[in-house]
Amino acid sequence: MPAPPLLALKGISKRFGAVQALADIDLEIRAGQVVALVGDNGAGKSTLVKIIAGVDPADHGVVVWDGRPVHITRPHEAQALGIATVYQDLALCDNLDVVGNLFLGREIHRVGVLDEVEMERRTLGLLDTFSIRMPSVRVPVASLSGGQRQTVAISRSLLGEPRLVLLDEPTAALGIEQTAQVLDLVDRLRERGLGVLLISHNMGDVKAVADWIAVLRLGRNNGFFDVTTTSHEQIISSITGATDNAVSRRGTREWEVG
Amino acid sequence: MSGGSGTAGDRPHRWGALRDSLRSGELGSLPVLLSLASIWLIFASLDEKFLSPRNLSNLSVDIVGTGLIAVGVVFVLLVGEIDLSVGSVSGLAAAVFAVLNVQHGMAEVPAVLVAVALGAAIGAVHGFFFAKVGVPAFVVTLAGLLGWNGLMLYVLGSSGTVNLDDEGLVAMLTSHYFNDVAVAYGVAALGTAGYFLVSFRDARRRIAAGVPARTGGGIAVRTGALGAVTFAAAFVLNRFQGLPLALLIFITVLVGLDHVLRRTTYGRMIFAIGGGVEAARRAGLGVVRVRISVFMVSSTMAAVGGLFLASRVTSASQASGGGNLLMNTIAAAVIGGTSLFGGRGRVWSALLGVLVIQSIASGVALLGIQAAVQYMITGGVLLVAVVIDALSRRAQKAHGRV
């Protein structure tokens, strides 16, 4: 009997007014696995991330965490479970320094006062662990480069020692070298037994680090592929809906039989 | 790697750091200190009485009412909003106190508490409509500006002006001086020693924890500068009537609220919301509660400041909280270096900004020039302050894109 998946979504649906953003989505992520979530613009990837992160709960469906159903209705509930999220738009406070951003919402106190020394010490320790270089941890993040800001955002998610990390387009705005650094970081997360849900448009990144690829198309599941046995073309066609895939072929066969 | 920090190493450390902070748009208090120094130099050269102990002592009391209100405005500006009602609220608080105390015979302490609590409640109302209902703060507090001014006129009734008890507690707030020279020097010594102890212990903890610490020289220079300023102020004040009670209260409030803003979770939340509401929300911060609370701080400080302003003239009248008080408080916060765009600023900007504004007012009055000139100078200084704010913001963004 294998361990239950870290996170399992069953029949998740979400509607924004007249738009059905997600319909009947299933997804499983196991510890020590990198699952890539791919799909065209508007396929519902970010909406799904917001549901898991507790920013915008689902209308219907069940979220199963570590084998038991949970209701995640607020971001800190997801954090308490061990789900950390790095958003596409980074969600950093430009005016706070690196330490302030890392510890935002979970500051360390000492006799009722912010313990800046301890927070700075832990920040430097974390950056050191992941061999991250930063000019200073006491400059406002507004004055950092895009790559450095992404590093801050990911470091921030690792601080709470999460078990599942959601990365929303972590390499979208980065150069080649910085992308490689982020992908190395994803590898290190898997080695440490964390589950990773990686959202990406870049098929190269996905093939490089993911174990499984989940495809969304127009708010629905459109395939779940093993990276080692699936061709690039299969994934692309599943994303765009250009040709048949296993799911739709099965559907049409049943239609023909019926 | 950002361009500025990469080359800082091959220059003397201090200048490298200064140049870097200039480039990245972190000017801090430098512009306002420069403008304050030049204003004082200009007025002192035009009239030597400007720097007389009497004038400076009066200046130190004149800044308190407006300054206390400006401190509250700083809180609202930090979350990126504005409070236009502080003038009216300060007038209303003064009127309520005066009517309760003088006309209804309520004792001074409970009357003060009612007036201040009323301020807090008004802030809660503003905060509710802004943060919960979603009406822009500009409009909510504009309604407050009119509404609370109307309520003040209603409370004052037909009499129009209520004179306070000259010997009363509230009148004492701005009329009491600690004549004993030891008090002013004692406060200066206490403040300097306190600053040194806090810096020293912080540096020792940092060294023990193995994180970068301020050097002994840095602490010595800063402590020395603070000591020089506070002892010079004590010396000047003692040559007139000693340390004014109002100034002591103002400084105490500034130290306390500075602590709240920089050293507590609540303060960190205020900065976070000013720097990025979405980021703050996603970090699980109670954005609505914090937003309501800053409007409560603003209105409470407005009420407290209103009592000091009433104390200065020992009366509450239909003119209380009117005139250019509102503009002066917001201008003081901005001139002092608090950003209109939210997320950047310090409590001390209220002190520095109001010093600039009152210095101009005092100098112009001393020279016997018309008030028109005072408005033009203050307007010019404000414009410069906002331009510096906008430019430094742009510089910081550009710095990040290297």
Q: Annotate B130-147 with DSSP letters as a single string.
A: IIII---HHHHHHHHHHH
Contacts of B25 in chain A (CB under 8 A): 143
- The confidence band for B23, taking pLDDT boundaries of 50, 70 and 90, is low
Of B209, B263, B280, which has the smallest distance from its Cβ to A114's Cβ?
Answer: B263
- In this prediction, residue A248 carries a pLDDT of 52
Residues 6+ away with beta carbon under 8 Å from B203: B213, B214, B216, B219
What is the distance between the alpha carbons of residues B79 and B270, in angstroms, rounded to a whole number?
6
pLDDT, residue B12, reads 42
Residue found by looking up tokens 């890539």 in the block: A36
Which of the pair, B22 or A97, is modelled with greater confidence? A97
The 10s digit of each residue's pLDDT in A7-26 is 999 999 999 988 888 989 99
What mean pLDDT value characterizes chain B?
90
CB burial of B6-35 (b: ≥16 within 10 Å; e: otherwise) equals: eebeeeeeeebeeebbebbbbbeeebbeeb
Residue B8 pLDDT greater than 50, yes or no = no
- Looking at the DSSP bridge assignments, the partners of residue A221 are A216
ipTM of the complex: 0.84
Percent of chain B with pLDDT over 70: 92
| Residue that the structure tokens 């609540």 belong to | B266
Chain A residue closest to B342 (CA)? A95
The pLDDT score that the predictor gives to residue A106 is 86
Question: What is the identity of the amino acid at B252?
Answer: T
Helical H runs in B2-136?
3-7, 13-23, 30-46, 53-78, 86-98, 108-127
pLDDT (0 to 100) of residue B5: 37
Q: Residue A182 has what pLDDT?
A: 80
Between helix B30-46 and helix B348-367 the angle, nearest 10°, is: 20
Write down the pLDDT at residue B394. 80
Q: How far is CA A206 from the centre of its chain?
A: 13
User: What residue type is assigned to position A2 of the chain?
Assistant: P
Please name the member of B209, B263, B281 whose beta carbon is closest to the beta carbon of A117: B209
Q: Which of B111, B14, B26, B127 is nearest to B346 (CA)?
A: B26
Contacts of B402 in chain A (CB under 8 A): 145
pLDDT over 70 for what percent of chain A?
A: 91
Look at A143 and B211 and tell me if their CB atoms are within 8 Å: no
Cα–Cα distance measured from residue B79 to residue B123, given in angstroms and rounded to the nearest whole number: 15
A54 vs chain B: nearest CA distance in angstroms? 9
Cα gap B291→B124, rounded to integer Å: 10
pLDDT tops 70 at residue A245: no
The answer to whether the Cβ–Cβ distance between B280 and A93 falls below 8 Å is: yes
Contacts of B263 in chain A (CB under 8 A): 113-114
**Of B245, B226, B242, residue with least CA distance to B234:** B242
Comparing A14-18, B28-32, B215-219, the range with the smallest average pLDDT is B28-32
Query: Average of pLDDT values for B125-137?
Result: 96
Q: What is the mean pLDDT of residues A135-155?
A: 83
Contact A100 B282 (CB under 8 A): no
Closest chain B C-alpha to A22 CA, distance in angstroms: 21
Residue A80 burial (CB count, 10 A)? 13
Nearest CA in chain A to B262: A114
Query: What is the band of B19 on the pLDDT scale with cuts at 50, 70, 90?
Result: low
- Sole residue written with tokens 């707030």: B173
Average pLDDT over residues B389-402: 70
DSSP letter assigned to residue B129: I
Task: State the alpha helices, DSSP H only, in B176-324.
Answer: 181-209, 216-238, 245-263, 265-275, 277-282, 287-313
Q: Which sign, positive or negative, has the C-alpha torsion A16, A18, A24, A27?
A: negative
Span B98-109, pLDDT tens digits: 999 999 999 999
Cβ contact B351:B60 at 8 Å: no
The answer to whether the Cβ–Cβ distance between A91 and B209 falls below 8 Å is no
Task: Give residue B70's identity as a one-letter amino acid code.
Answer: A
pLDDT of A197 strictly over 80: yes
- Return the top range by mean pLDDT from A135-149, A185-199, B40-54, B371-385: B40-54
Contacts of B133 (CB under 8 A, 6+ apart): none
Give how far A238 is from chain B: nearest CA, Å: 32
pLDDT in tens, A83-118: 988 876 667 898 999 999 999 988 999 888 999 999
- Average of pLDDT values for B201-218? 90
Whether the pLDDT of residue A1 is over 80: the answer is no
**Is the pLDDT higher at B329 or at A143?**
B329
Contacts of A50 in chain B (CB under 8 A): none
Mean pLDDT, chain A, as a whole number? 84
How far, in Å, CA of B90 to CA of B83, rounded? 12
Distance CA A247, CA A7 (A): 23
Q: Percent of chain B having pLDDT more than 90?
A: 74
- On the question of pLDDT at B333 being above 90, the answer is yes
Chain A residue numbers touching B274 (CB-CB < 8 A):
95
pLDDT of residue B4 exceeding 50, the answer is no
Say if the Cβ atoms of A107 and B265 lie within 8 Å: yes
Side chain identity at residue A133, one-letter code: R
pLDDT given at position B2: 37
Question: Which three-class secondary structure state does DSSP give residue A166?
Answer: strand
Judged against a pLDDT cut of 90, whether residue B15 lies above it is answered with no
Highest mean pLDDT, choosing among A56-65, A121-130, A163-172, B68-77? B68-77
Q: Which of A174-178, B156-160, B367-371 has the lowest mean pLDDT?
A: A174-178
Chain B contacts to A (CB-CB under 8 A): 1-2, 5, 24-26, 202, 205-206, 209-212, 259, 263-265, 268, 271-272, 274-276, 278-285, 343-344, 396-397, 399-402
User: B55: pLDDT confidence band, cut at 50, 70 and 90?
Assistant: very high
Mean pLDDT, residues B17-27: 57
Least confident stretch, A163-172, B21-30, B376-385: B21-30
Torsion (CA) A45, A46, A48, A50 in degrees, nearest 10:
170
